[in-house]
Amino acid sequence: MPRGTRACISSARHSRRESWTSPAIQAPTSCGAKGRSPWARLRRNRHGRNWWCVRPSRTLMRKCFQEWSREMRTLVSELPGVVGSTVTLSGWVHRIRDLGGVSFVVLRDRSGMGQLVFDAKPDVTVESVIEVHGSVAANEKAPGGVEVRVQSMRVVSPAALDLPFPVNQDPGKTSLESILDNRMIALRNPSILSIFRLQSTILRCFAEYLRGLDFTEIKTSKLIGTGTEGGTGLFSVDYFDTKVYLTQSPQIYKQTMIAAGLERVFEIGPAYRAEKHDTPRHINEFISLDVEMAFIESEQDLMDLETGILAAIFAGVRASNQKDLDAWKATVPDPELCARIPRVSHDEAKEIVSKETGKKVYEISPEGERALCDWAMKTAGVEAVFVFAYPRKSRPFYTYPAENNRTKSFDLLFRGLEVTSGSMRINRYDMLMENLQAFDLNPEGLKDYLSIFKYGCPPHGGFAIGMERLTQKILGLASVKEATLFPRDRKRTRP
């Protein structure tokens, strides 16, 4: 057994403390589709015991919405259940197949695609939005066994003929440039759209898992007067008569809220990095899944927490996004295996890379990161590995130091890419002041930040998961830009 799994499995250390690892390998509350009320667990959960007092009746909410939507239309996915009846469908014309005496139109709506049958070629163009009225018939020859014989059709919004992007074709045959240049239209492509359906599950499961552990969600400002990490890589913005910067991380605000007494916080928000890299794994604006937690003992506790988050996300994606995974021929790791993600120190990682690649390494390069994940797959059956105890010089000043000039920090590498970076933070004022000197930083510019520690702050730490990178790696996409709705890179600020 890899030594890193110790922290997850041994319970001796955790039993006397609050546990956050126990739900690690269970699907988050509403991700499990077992027929039980998604609120059942919360009702038993001490943190959610009063949910019915503050929420309108769920039955009432569901009833209002269903009655409203039932009047609107039938969804394509509902057709097999309403064979024999007359329905109204609305959606986009995905494809037209005209065979002379009969024409087939593939209609696309948010639930999927279904076949419409016309006696003659209908007067519509691909991608037009239509509303049709017709009878639902079972037919062996129809895709999915059901089709709608159209009695009347209304073109709700016609589409021009010069479609700039092949919406109804395999996006694998289209260049990234064309996908991004025509982003508005490219997003209609079902495979491309599926990326963002899956991404939504990641967001949901991340938040639900943490809420279940008594984390409080916060939203902080993305504008800041000065940078905390030396001022490099910050975008400046005109702010009335002065200049401010876009934050590269919510770091200081997360820590502020820890010290303010929330103890456990998370934030989902954009982070900005004004760095001129031009690679398939960098964008200048990304969504950071940020977590911070008080009363931890080391970075091992943070890895425990992230293990649980990953398991919740993988379980949720498996439960909700099988079609989206299929569209990219992708698989998510078994949530049960997350507890076996190896944990290796930075020094051990270098040794492993040297051994695996057959060449001596002094720093872990992207090639080394790929080698480490391959190694993890071989030894533990998961394509992920935690690397901890990074040298002091490679980590920011607020990282908690450890013996031998190491730090209480870690990264998570998943399928060959760094998706998380985190650490325990220095929470003692005197220690922080010493470290500022060592990093040659001026305490004057960090006055607000330092006040957190001057007046008492519990031991704590946190990490950030790159949402787009995680999405990219789950689906096996070639570039992080594909996993970004409207990517902002060195050259691109449109659409």
Partner RNA sequence: GGGGGCGUGGCGAAGCUGGUUAUCGCGCUGGCCUGUCAAGCCGGAGGCCGCGGGUUCAAGUCCCGUCGCUCCCGCCA
Interface positions with RNA (CB under 7 A): 95-102, 104, 115, 117, 121, 125-126, 139, 141-143, 147, 161-166, 169, 173-178, 180, 249, 273, 275-284, 286, 288, 363, 365-367, 369, 394, 411, 418-421, 464-466, 468-469, 478-481, 489, 491-492
Nearest residue (CB) to RNA, 184 versus 478: 478
Find the angle CA(166)-CA(172)-CA(178) to the nearest 5 degrees. Answer: 55
Least distance to RNA, CB of residue 121, Å: 7
445: helix, strand or coil: helix
In angstroms, the CA 70 to CA 452 distance is 53
Q: Which is nearer to RNA, 48 or 145 (CB)?
A: 145
Residue 108's closest CA among 189, 199, 173, 198?
A: 189
Closer to RNA by CB, 125 or 220: give it: 125
> Closest CB to RNA among 304 and 489?
489
DSSP string, 3-53: GGGHHHH--HHHHTS--SSGGGGS--TTT--SSS-TTHHHHHSGGGTTHHH
Q: Which is nearer to RNA, 30 or 284 (CB)?
A: 284
Count the residues in the chain: 495
Helix (H) or strand (E) holding 299: helix 299-320
Least distance in angstroms from the C-beta of 22 to RNA: 26
Q: How far apart are the first and last CA of the chain?
A: 49
Minimum separation from the CB atom of position 39 to RNA (A): 32
Rounded Cα distance between 310 and 202, Å, is 9
List the Cα angle 469/472/473 in 5-degree steps: 90
Min dist. Cβ of residue 468 to RNA (A)? 6
Cβ nearer to RNA, comparing 169 with 216: 169
Measured from the CB atom, the residue of 80 and 456 that comes closer to RNA is 80
Give yes or no for a contact between 245 and 230, defined as CB atoms under 8 angstroms apart.
no
Shortest distance (Å) from residue 142 CB to RNA: 4
Distances (CA, A) of 33 to 38, 51, 201, 208, 317: 8, 21, 14, 15, 12
* Residue closer to RNA (CB basis): 70 or 393: 393
Q: How far is the CB of 385 from RNA (least distance, A)?
A: 13
Cα–Cα distance measured from residue 202 to residue 208, given in angstroms and rounded to the nearest whole number: 10
Give the whole-angstrom CA distance, residue 260 versus residue 381: 41
Token pair listed for 268: 């989902």
Shortest separation between residue 181's beta carbon and RNA, angstroms = 7
What is the smallest separation between the CB atom of 52 and RNA, expressed in angstroms?
Answer: 38
159: helix, coil or strand?
coil
Q: How far is the CB of 228 from RNA (least distance, A)?
A: 12
Please tell me the distance from the alpha carbon of residue 92 to that of residue 86, in angstroms, as a whole number.
19
Report the residue number, 179 or 319, with the smaller CB distance to RNA.
179
Judged by beta carbon, residue 115 or residue 256, the one nearer RNA is: 115
Determine contact, residues 289/329, Cβ cutoff 8 Å. no
Burial of 444 (0-12, 13-18, 19+ CB in 10 A): exposed
Cβ closer to RNA: 176 or 450? 176
DSSP-based three-state secondary structure for 340: helix
Min dist. Cβ of residue 180 to RNA (A): 6
Residue 1 CB partners (closer than 8 Å, separation 6+) = none
Q: How far is the CB of 361 from RNA (least distance, A)?
A: 9
